Chain A
Amino acid sequence: MIRLFTSLFLLVVFAEASSCSSSPASRELPLRVRWIRDPETLDPLTQPNENARQGVNLLYQSLLTVDYEQQRFVPLLAESMPSVRHQGARTLITYRLRDSARWDDGQPVLARDVEFTLKVMNCPDLPNEEVRAQFGFITALQPDPLDSRRFTLVCEGAAPELVLASGDFPILPAHYLDPQNKLGAVPLAALQQDSLALRHYPDVAPFVQRYKAAQIGQHPDALPGSGPYRLASWKTGQQLEFRRKPRWWGQALQQTAPQLQARPEQIEFHVIPDDATALLAMRRADVDLYPRMPAREFGRLQADSARHPELSFYTAPSYDMTVAGFNTRSSLLAHRLTRQAISHLFDVPQLIQATQQGHAYRSVGLINPENKAFYNDSLRPFAFDPTEASRLLVRAGWQRTATGWERQRPGQSPQRLALRLSYRAGEPTYEAIGLQLRAAAAQLGIPITLHPTESSVLSGRLRAGEYDLYLRSMTGNPFVYNFAPILHTESIGSGNFTRFGTPDSDRLIKSITTEQNPQRKARLLRRLQALLQAECPLTVLYFNRYQIVAASRLANLQISGLPPGYNVMAITSRPDDSH
């Protein structure tokens, strides 16, 4: 009996000791990343902000992805880069999906899923305006009758970037969202072109209702994804936690396909809207990664880096730009010369110095100046010139009076030039720009009131056109030149906040999307930059530089100028500091 008790006691002690020693050793610390705002939704169709895109990419996968280190597209769900054929004005892009690609429930990812996703992206009555404009060039999917994983996308146009763009949307599980294959009978072209598709195809409306009722945006955990992570918890406005799936199809391929890596076991995104609070959290090691730290804080922290050996500092030139947009349908700003005049009131060099510590760079438009082939270097950015602004206002029909600027309108009372500038609340850079513009405009006699607005309210107001001027960030990339979602008339009410669009600009934007020849494309892009500067629906103030601070224990961040500036799935802990 004593022996039995002794054995049991030893067993318990041994088990306890082994659990104490092995439990922390086997578990990695979660990777804690600062997010400036809540993603609002994780619906792959909407993705209203960059955080939503980042979250969606952890749950779902697209055919191609970006290799952050090489800054090029590489296959993700696709087995290899697609083969491309041209057929008149069309491009035929053939993909084959990886044999091992699986949904969480073990079902294979097939061509049917891609076709289904394209149809959902074009389905009427779903919140898909932006993706519809962005991927409207894909007009059909031809499945391979012999291989359920092979298919060909028929794309309008022949531009080389169509190939990359054709693989850059997250794929949804058809077998789960449409088990009876109701959308299968509806041609993609019908959804794209037929404004009465809901009436002509009675199966579409019940599907739309089911999709909306599923509330994928708020409950993505209910939907099987092909990505390496699942959403473990979401406290709106506070924190999102993603956990790596214990068994994921990509694990076996990580040696040969580094783009399939998913290193952190657990990723926590901490929503901290205020920069000062986020800085404090970084200093107190409450977060491990602070992407895009404001230049002033970054400079101060870096200068003090001797006292912070636990922090590492990274920078990269980015494709992020700070933009001032005009409501071109507002009667005050309908004339392009009025918009040009206001653009002359931004003192951009001083703002770059004051808000970005001189680390940003100017541009004449939406093309990054680093891209020498496409950048229109014959144009000059708007200079800070109140005298020129006055001259332009007079040319636009405004008259200087004792109380400000007025314009006579036939049969109506005189119109007074007074503007409202909207921007995201709590963003010091926008506040600095707003105050500078307000001061310069006040000297000229134009009253401008500042309207810092909560992020989601601002998005709604911009979409509805309830503003005069706005400040926001926009993100470009070096791969695709499709300006339809932000400048085409079809995107008014969704991504085209400025509500700009002329037949000429619409044609030009479409031509750029479809142009294949690099020289001709460069000419078209230069023309677009000139047109945008003349029409001035928006003014690019400057391109930013990414400043990223991370805990020194983190390695392999794959810092780049592409948003979000790092590859969260590649990050590892240094062996010595992992606990």
Chain B
Amino acid sequence: MTRARRWGAGLALTWLLLLLAVALTVPYLPLAFSPDTVDLTNIAMPPQVSQFSHPGHLLGTDPYGRDVLTALLYGTRTALLVSLPAALLAALAGISSGSSAGFWGNSGLRVKTGWLVAAGAAVLFTLAALPCYWGSYRMLYLLAIPTGFFMVGGILLQVKRLSAPVPIPLDSLLQACITLVSSIPRLVLVLALAAVVEPSLPTLVLVLALSSWVGTARLVRAEVARVRQLPYLEAARAAGIPELRLLVRHVLPNALRPVKTSFPLSIAGLIGLETTLSFLGVGLPPEVPSWGRTLALVRLTPTAWWLVVFPVLLILLTTLALQQLASRPRG
């Protein structure tokens, strides 16, 4: 690693740690204004020099009279609260689906027909009935669905024809899902999903994760399919190691290198996406401070340069830092 690269990586890490520290400690920072404070006498004010006796708006105010510095610091927490869980969820979904498809292919995993039918029935039942009765009978459903699954599966297995194992075409299923999700532009997909569900932090995380797992799944599938062919796995199989253990203990550790590289990039992408959504006024409730929302307010006051410069600087530095982290050589 060259000296410049080391410096770059160090700076990137410092910046990201600083952001993390701000996100964790922002409610305890000695800020002059809270994120809820609306100062209607000072709307769209340019940055002011703060005095000890009379705190001013260091980075100015937005057109609703909110302090930009406070909004950006709290926006850091929002960016992390949205992008980090979404990236983790997406990575988890991508790794589990991609590794299963890559490892078992279309014929490696065999399940008894009875269980398949029971699982299909449970999914159909959940999709049909849950939206109508979820509110009133939540606990009942949570108990009834797994109980029903095992009972129906158990009964069906008594039928001779339904007790024979059949292969599950995991790879084809995953490929179809990936094609389906990839065929819709990511922003359009997220906008459509965000328009359907009520705006809140958990729903936004879920929506972002749903749209972002595809890349990881594709990478992991390809890598697992490569590792699967290696001779040491043949040896492990011959030694009688169970399939699941083989996948988790011996395949995944060797297949996750690309994911480690793409994870920071995925966070950067999600921060960008969250900012875009907030800019468009979709996703998060309006009272939640966010970099994108602060940036969007420039449309109300096009001359307010401070509403562009500071959020853009934050987004730029964070994205660059994450990219620097991703391009760091490993091994």
Contacts and interface: CB of A to CB of B under 8 A. Distances in A.
A325 B287 CA distance: 20
B299 A450 contact: no
A276 B302 contact: yes
Given A276-B299, A276-B300, A350 B40 contact: yes
Contact of A354 (B36, B43, B281, B302): B43
A193 to B, nearest CB: 38
Contact of A435 (B38, B41, B281, B303): B38
Given A350-B41, A436-B40, A450 B285 contact: yes
Interface in A260-311: 274-276, 296, 300
Interface string B56-74: 0000000111100000000
A428 B285 CA distance: 14
Given A276-B302, A428-B63, A439 B285 contact: no
Interface in B246-301: 281, 285-287, 299-301
B188 to A, nearest CB: 16
- The listed residue with most A CB atoms (<10 A of its CB), out of B63, B285, B286, is B286
A449 interface: yes
Given A436-B38, A436-B64, 18 more contacts: A275-B299, A275-B300, A276-B299, A296-B300, A300-B303, A350-B40, A353-B40, A354-B64, A426-B281, A428-B63, A428-B300, A434-B286, A435-B38, A435-B64, A438-B36, A438-B287, A439-B37, A450-B286
A354 B40 contact: yes
A434 B287 CA distance: 9
Nearest to A454: B195
A351 B63 CA distance: 12
Chain B: interface size category: 10 to 19
B124 to A, nearest CB: 29
B300 A452 contact: no
Given A276-B302, A350-B41, A436-B38, A449 B64 contact: no
Interface string B107-143: 0000000000000000000000000000000000000
A341 B299 CA distance: 34
Contacts of B64: 354, 431-432, 435-436
A570 interface: no
A296 B287 contact: no
B32 to A, nearest CB: 15
A339 B212 CA distance: 45
A350 B40 CA distance: 6
B144 to A, nearest CB: 26
Interface string A441-457: 01000000111100000
Interface of A: 274-276, 296, 300, 347, 350-351, 353-354, 425-426, 428, 431-432, 434-436, 438-439, 442, 449-452
Given A296-B63, A347-B40, A442-B36, A435 B299 contact: no
Contacts of A434: 286
Contacts of B37: 439
Nearest to B41: A350
B40 A351 contact: yes
A435 B287 contact: yes
Interface string B23-45: 00000000000001110110100
6 contacts: A276-B302, A300-B303, A425-B281, A428-B300, A435-B64, A438-B36
Given A274-B299, A431-B64, A449 B285 contact: yes
A-B CB proximity, top 9 nearest: A276-B299, A350-B40, A354-B40, A439-B38, A439-B36, A436-B38, A450-B286, A354-B43, A442-B36
A438 B302 CA distance: 26
B37 to A, nearest CB: 6
Nearest to A274: B299
